[in-house]
Structure 1
Amino acid sequence: MKKLPIDEILSTLRTTICDSMNTVLVAPPGAGKTTRLPLALLQESWLIGKKILVLEPRRLAARAAARQMAVLLGEKVGETVGYRIRLDSCISSKTRIEVITEGILTRLLQNDPGVEDVGMIIFDEFHERSLHADLGLALCLQTQSVLREDLKIVIMSATLDTGPIASLLGDAPVIISEGVSFPVETHYAQRPITEQIELAVVRKIQEAASEEGGDMLVFLPGAGEIHRVESQLLKIGMQKDAMIIKLYGGLSQEYQDLAMFSQTLGKRKIVLATSIAQTSITLEGMHIVIDSGLMRIPRFSARTGMMHLETVKVSRDVSDQRRGRAGRTKEGICYRLWTYEEEVVHRDKNTPEIMEADLTSLVLELAAWGIHNPGELQWLDLPPEPAFLQARQLLFQLGALSCDGRITSHGQQLIKIGLHPRIAHMVFQGLRLGYGKLACEMAAILNHRELFQGLSDVDLRLRIELVRKGGYHTIETEIRYWKQIFAVPQGGSDNLEACGLLLAFAYPERIGQGRGDGRFLLRNGHGAVFKEPQLLAMEPYLVAAELGGDQQGEKRIFLAAPVHLYMIKEHFDEQISVQERIVWDHEAKAVRARRIEKFDALLLESMPLANCNKEDVLFALLEGIKEEGLHILPWTKSACQFRQRLMFMHKIDPDWPNVSDDFLKITLEEWLAPYLYGMINCDHLQRLNLTAILGGMLSWEQGQKLNEWAPTHILVPSGQRIPIDYSDAAVPVLAVKLQEMFGLKETPKIGQGKVAMTLHLLSPAHRLVQVTKDIASFWDNTYFQVKKDLMGRYPKHYWPDDPLKAMPTHRVRPHS
């Protein structure tokens, strides 16, 4: 057996693990930790009769680890060592080491929280901080705390800040294996890459192959780029001198084995790999590493409402791991396809998935575990509260959680299926309605929507029709799988008219109502619009499965299907609110009584409502008056003057009614409501006699005194009755021609004799010549100056020398 760096510390590890419940092991890629440690622990006394679970983040790594351990034991996979991954398993009654993927661990814990047949759980490659790994560890820690004090947990990583994880594990001991590495010469690009990354990679492969010998490991972000690079290499004849091998998670086991175990018989091996080759598996003898600088990581997509893979620049710790693959057995070379200056913008490490992910599946798993608040568990990073609450609301809409956050029987169904809860719910609803086949087709298409990126038509039905014509092998394989998992019966309807309804089950918050101009209002209140003209633009209702960035404040629709209103009413009836609304219509200036059907932000139907409650109509009318303002009432000249007189009296005596705008608004129910019965609109309001209504606010005594204390007119010396202007309640004004006031010795007073009138003395042409509250002082001090000016302008008029003895007149001259 080949000696590996981990062998030197296996004895220490056995002792530490025996003495501790939890242990942290840090060892570089290729040190042998994944395969050697589980085998070294098999005969430990504390493990008798129990299994070891080895958790791997990827299916390829799980199968490879199980196979390598079986080889070391001289057995076949499925005997002492086996694996369980999605869609595949190889175990037996003799299996004591199970290599599993993260989702499998969650299922095992949910089915048997005590995992009584398990003695130790190893979390491998924990530095990747996947959502499932964080969730699995949180559940394991609670199992260990509550049910299984003897359950041992080991965290293994190639690079890890050990402080936080050791603290989370109760100050667990940290064991470090230094490993063996050789110097790696690192070359950066001379200038930023401006062409397609595949072309740059092919050119660098050619350059490296001409300058250096040895096998080559090329890191690319995904399978698409790998196939395009392979195609280019074959086109230039690279296969003549080298074996070109693809390596990514979706390949069959035979292809994966080819990368890891193939003998090239003197040919150079060029392995085109995704990030899976960073740490998860061991590739021997790589002398050259070419790093594209890109990787795909799971991110929550607001467009799709689910997780998706996003291409990002590698972090510095990832690029160091990739470079280290060239220095495993001898000195190596690493070519980085970015400049040294560009590395400044590379992050030190990737953000844990839990901080950026869609938490819908996690929240459902926690609910199944009996957890409603994630703070009840131990986490390295607590799930963000906004994302947690958003996921919880979605699960409630899907019927997976009750209003208090408890998992429902339907939620228990969803959690057993390896699909996002949105899509699983859609398929279950499709089965119930006889659309199982169509729902499985849609599930596969939604999981592989990137295969249709060239289509400009956003209609989901078009994609279904294309798949039915054939040629989409990945999707066709997945459709067959889901039909088997969901036990879809033969026959059943595959009518595309149901496509929108099924999509509504998956995306209930994205049901949209057409506004008639190609724009849509979504159920969640957001606006949505198509980026370019679409046949779906004038549909009354649709469901958006993919939404993009803002376009004038509205989301762009990238994938959708129409849905009929009757389908919404039939299948979402419990979520549709029916209200009888009697409200003021600002546009019509009238009370409108209608029966309203609302689907959150969507107004589905509005019909006139007959035989309304009179009190409800009255309330709506009063609210309308408050909304419009008191100016909507018929304020005639008489009513305005009457109100001004009351305001004057209230100013000098607070016992009189307050008829200010603010007070009248807040007391509408008291002074106006009794006169409004039978009225419903602005025209009806014009019948009101506001003078009489305001008069009704006076006591009997006030009614008797009003004309005396706040008269409408005053009789002046000329014999004319002149109106009083009460528009300023603090300063009542009498505007009168000066000649009509001859002989008046004192300024008239009103308001129980408390308020002297403000006199606006006018010229014969009714122009203001003097303002005074003291007429006697005016005659004594100012009149003669005013007289001189007026005589010059109005020589025919009467301007006596003694105004107190002169005869008042409203004519040019008094009658003799």
Structure 2
Amino acid sequence: MTLPIEDALPDLIDALRAEGRAVLQAPPGAGKTTRVPLALLDAGLTDGKIIMLEPRRLAARAAAERLAEQIGEKPGQMVGYRMRGDSKAGSRIEVVTEGILTRMIQSDPELTGIGAILFDEFHERSLNADLGLALTWEIRQALRDDLLLVVMSATLDAAPVAALLDDAPVITSEGRAYPVEVKHLARPLDRKVRIEPAIADEIVHSVKETEGGVLVFLPGEGEIRRVEAALAGRLPKNVEVRPLYGALPFAKQRAAIAPVESGRKVVLSTSIAETSLTIEDIRVVIDGGLARRSRYDPSSGMARLVTERVTKAEMTQRAGRAGRVAAGVCYRMWTKGEEGGLQAFPPAEIEAADLAGLALEMALWGSTDLPFLTPPPEGTLAEAQDLLRSLGALDDSNAITAHGRAVAAMPTHPRLAHMLLTAGKQAATLAALLAERDPMMNAPTDLTLRLRAIQNGDARANHGTIERIKTEAKRLSQGLEQKHSLSAAEMAALAYPDRIGLRRKGEAARFVLSGGKGAAMPDGDGLASQRLIVATDLDGDPREAKVRQALALGESELRGLYADRIRWENHCAWSKRDRRVLTRKYEMFGALTLDDRRWDDADPDAVAQAMLDGIREMGLRLSGAARRFRARVELLREGGMDLPAMDDDSLMATLDDWLLPHLDGVRSAEDWKKFNPLEALRGMLDWNQMQMLDREAPAHFTTPLGRKLPIDYDGELPQITVRVQEMFGVTRHPTVGKTPIRVTLLSPGQKPVQVTADIPGFWVNSYPDVRKDMRAQYPKHPWPEDPREADPTLRAKPRGQ
């Protein structure tokens, strides 16, 4: 049978001959996966091996088998495949899973012996595919301009990819599809309850009214198993139910995609069947409307699969599966109106994934400036680099370490790889457990319950999950050394140095984590009273996460593991509550305070600096002398003289400059009340400025008796307060420069009798009336008729006068 892709192959070959790179758009079922590698081989475009990337293991092996079948061979001859834990080398074509290409490039950046790289199903935008394309494109630009590069996609917008590849030619195959009738629900499903019963009912209904195979899209294994159970005894005997998901043994995966010898089949599949696999004889699709995607999960610190609504692109691809071989029908488990709320395309994994592995690969490559189609988010990448530094995989400059190279070579998350390399074989079971979903979802938080269930069995545990953990543990332990014995908590602390929790003082079940976040356990949980824990799974709440899995950690275990990271910190800070500077010494591990002591010999400079924070809170407190000094400075500044600003805002903004050197011994609000800042303010002026200030705005007025009275500069005019008798004999009004001093004249009883800026005028005009009143009130004090001729005095009259 002629495949639709055949019409596009000549243009693709011509583009590769001319440009060496191309973007191929072809809808599902066009034949690009099984025809393009052979077309390149037939055209003689390269003598090197052709590598084709597939996003999934099943698709990679199925593609290799189909390619080998077309040339009358079996995988392992001209065509082969390579994936984690399984490979058959091919002499000319190899189909590999995406992570394999990254390892090939890191071990041999020139890709010796490889002539072409084909990225199949690139529209899925997996993290490994994006990284593989970025690395391959950089290699082609810098080292291998002869390397052929083809990006193949079913639904991706080709323009951005073509632009990334220096305006690569875009080749389009129209494909071929039969009409598909789409049917929607009349009413929305209740999304708060499981959808499996409704889907099972729809399967029974569709089998009755249609012909051909039925392909049902479900988000994961759990849903597949529940739908399979719900169908028991409800379908005709000639209808076989075949599950299809990634963790299924390969023989059963092959059985799901193979045609039935007689009767019909119902394939219960994850999104693995959307585009990268050809499933024989499907004419009916039932779309559950859900997809499970890899997302960075802050609860575990690694990537997790999350269930989300499908996008419009995905629902279109799924419906198309019903029209590959004949006219078909697609049943959508939602109403027509709900489609308006669906996103257009699924997000690229790099936008929402855990980037620890990517950051490690970039460091191993030696560059963070790679040509990504979608650049990794800066914040998420920085968090990943922080983690890798804490694991010893990166140094302080984010360059890879020798340990980081070993971590990168391990087939698991960097957290777990670090744990495995440090703890050895004994950590394999824990690593497999931490990478898998919880086998005891409703059990208490203690992770030792899960470890015992793996070793001894437990009726509460999910058997399938336990078996997968055991299989993965066996794989991870291969090649590891048997090292010194560590407890499960110590091993977990190696993987989660940022998740070591210290119980808050006086608060059972609430913890501070070494990474700085808070966490809580249910009251009464077996670990709630522990002083130290390692939280291996949290619910992701950014304020205070709920601990779902944890292990109790001894303090001696923590100190044994991280003695080099435990440090004493001196803490000197203003306390708003105590209204004083507190000085303490804290023994810290990350954000955890393991010990707390008094810091008796605190650095005076640090105390003074902390006291400034208290002053900023309390505000300035200027004595009368300090206020008068400031007023003198401000008076001259207003007159245009070059002196420092001493208004409140300026002084508060420059506390470090003028006040800090004078705060020795000041460490509380009471000390600050007693402190006179005059000398600190005087220190803001140099010698010449002080001379000018004393000359132009003197601090004191000297009375005729020789007494120095402070001049107050706060008002419109400088002012003094003095007894009337002390100014006897004054015939010229006192001034500051040319500015008259406002004089408040007092009675012998210290009460104001006159405020004047013209003492000679006062003697003439007002004094006679004042004399008349004062003589009666203060007869023992002198009240001469002509004060201009009298001697100043502060004494009363001698007795007898």
Residues 777 and 401 of structure 1, relative CA distance in 2, 3 Å threshold: same
Q: How does 1:18-97 map to 2 (within 5 A)?
A: 18-48=17-47, 50-91=48-89, 95-97=91-93
2:177 is aligned to 181
1:588 shift after superposition: 7.1
Does 2:281 align with 1:296? no
Residue 286 of structure 1: how far off its partner (Å): 1.7
Given residue 531 of structure 2, which amino acid in structure 1 is its aligned partner?
P
Q: Deviations over 1:152-187 (max 9, x none)?
A: 222222222222222333433333222221111112
In the alignment, what sits opposite 2:534? 543
Is 1:253 aligned with 2:284? no
The match for 1:223 is 221
Letter of the structure 2 residue corresponding to residue 460 of structure 1: L
Shift of 1:368: 1.9
| Partner of residue 348 from structure 1, selected from 344, 351, 362 | 344
Counterpart among 397, 409, 418 of residue 402 in structure 2: 409
CA distance in 1, matches of 2:98, 2:614: 62
Residue in structure 1 matched with residue 386 of structure 2 by the alignment: 393
Q: Match of 2:275?
A: 279
Quote the residue 1:523 is aligned against: 514
* SS across alignment from 1:55: strand
Q: What is the CA deviation profile of residues 302-361 of structure 1, one whole-angstrom value per residue up to 9, with x for unaligned ones?
A: 222221112111111111111111111221111112222211111111121122222211
| Residue 462 (structure 1) aligns with | 449
1:432-511 residue pairs with structure 2 within 5 A? Answer: 436-437=425-426, 439-455=427-443, 457-470=444-457, 472-487=463-478, 498-511=487-500
User: For residues 780 and 215 of structure 1, do their structure 2 counterparts lie closer, same or farther at Cα, with a shift above 3 Å needed?
Assistant: farther
- Written as runs of structure 1 = structure 2, the 5 A alignment for 1:259-270 is 259-266=256-263, 268-270=264-266
The letter of the residue matching 2:262 is L
Deviation at 1:745, TM superposition (A): 7.4
Amino acid at match of 2:432: A
Per-residue deviation, residues 724-759 of structure 1 (Å, max 9, x unmatched):
685948766666899x89988779848799763441
- Contact kept in structure 2, 1:744 and 1:804, CA below 8 Å: no
Q: 2:52 aligns to what SS in structure 1?
A: strand
Does 2:412 correspond to 1:419? yes
- Residues 359 and 384 in structure 2, CA contact (< 8 A), matched pair in contact too: yes
Match of residue 308 from structure 1: 304
Q: What is the correspondence of 1:750-789 to structure 2 with a 5 Å cutoff?
A: 756-759=741-744, 771-774=755-758
How far residue 282 of structure 1 moved from its aligned partner, in angstroms, is 0.7
What does residue range 233-244 of structure 1 map to in structure 2 within 5 Å?
233-234=231-232, 237-238=234-235, 240-244=237-241
Distance 1:476 1:725, change over 3 A: farther
Query: Does 2:591 correspond to 1:601?
Result: yes
Cα contact 1:422–1:506 (8 A) shared by 2: yes
Secondary structure of the residue aligned to 2:498 is helix
Match of 2:609 in 1: 623
Deviations 1:664-708 (A, max 9, x none): 9744576x57xx5xx696699799997998999899x99xx99x9
CA distance in 1, matches of 2:579, 2:412: 53
| Cα distance in 2 between the residues matched to 1:304 and 1:587 | 37
| Correspondence 1:135-174 to 2 at 5 A | 135-174=131-170
Structure 1 residues 762 and 603: CA distance shift in structure 2, 3 A: farther
Q: 2: distance between equivalents of 1:378 and 1:686?
A: 60
Distance 1:409 1:685, change over 3 A: same
State the Cα RMSD in Å.
4.7
Q: Please state how far the C-alpha of 1:430 moved relative to its aligned partner.
A: 1.6
- Structure 1: distance between partners of 2:238 and 2:572: 83
1:513 paired with 2:502, answer yes
Equivalent residue, structure 2, for 1:566: 556
Contact 2:611 2:667 in 1 (8 A): no
Q: Structure 2: which amino acid aligns with 1:71? A: E
Segments of structure 1 that go 5 or more residues without pairing to the other structure are: none
3-state DSSP of counterpart to 2:53: strand
Work out whether 1:358 is the aligned partner of 2:357. no
Q: Is the CA contact (8 Å cut-off) linking 1:580 and 1:595 kept in structure 2? A: yes
Q: Which moved more, 1:540-549 or 1:655-664?
A: 655-664
**Alpha-carbon separation, structure 2, partners of 1:787 and 1:241:** 132
SS in structure 2 at match of 1:451: coil
Counterpart-to-counterpart distance in 1, 2:116 and 2:320 = 30
CA contact (8 A) 1:779 1:803 kept: no
Shift, 1:62, TM fit: 1.1
User: Relative to 1, partners in 2 of residues 1:586 and 1:205: Cα closer, same or farther, differing over 3 Å?
Assistant: closer
Per the alignment, do residues 643 and 311 of structure 1 end up closer, same or farther by CA in structure 2, a change over 3 Å counting?
closer
CA distance in 1, matches of 2:128, 2:202: 36
Q: CA deviation at 1:273?
A: 0.8
* Amino acid in structure 1 at the alignment position of 2:53: L
Offset of 1:197 from its aligned partner? Answer: 1.8
Question: 1: distance between equivalents of 2:125 and 2:133?
Answer: 11
Distance in 2 between residues matched to 1:151 and 1:400, nearest whole Å: 32
Q: How many residues align?
A: 770
User: Separation in 1 of the partners of 2:703 and 2:585?
Assistant: 57
Deviations 1:254-294 (A, max 9, x none): 2112211141522x311111111111111122221111111
Instruction: Give percent identity, aligned residues only.
Output: 37
SS of alignment partner, residue 179 of structure 1: coil
1:220 shift after superposition:
0.9
- Residue matched to 2:3: 4
C-alpha spacing 1:525/1:744, structure 2 compared with 1 (3 Å): farther
Shift in Å at residue 659 of structure 1?
10
Q: Structure 2 vs 1, CA of residues 632 and 7 (structure 1 numbering), >3 Å: closer, same or farther?
A: closer
SS in 1 for 2:588: strand
Q: Tell me, in whole angstroms, the C-alpha distance in 1 between the residues paired with 2:634 and 2:154.
A: 85
Does the aligned pair in 2 maintain the 1:743–1:803 contact within 8 Å? no
Q: What amino acid is the match of 1:756?
A: I
Map Cα deviations across residues 193-213 of structure 1 (whole Å, 9 max, x no partner).
Answer: 114221221222233233333
Could you tell me whether the CA contact under 8 Å between 1:27 and 1:157 is conserved in 2? yes
Cα 1:649–1:631 shift into 2, 3 Å: farther
**When the two structures are superposed, what TM-score results if normalisation uses the length of structure 1?**
0.81
Structure 2 alignment gaps of length 5 or more: none
Q: Distance in 2 between matches of 1:538 and 1:732?
A: 70
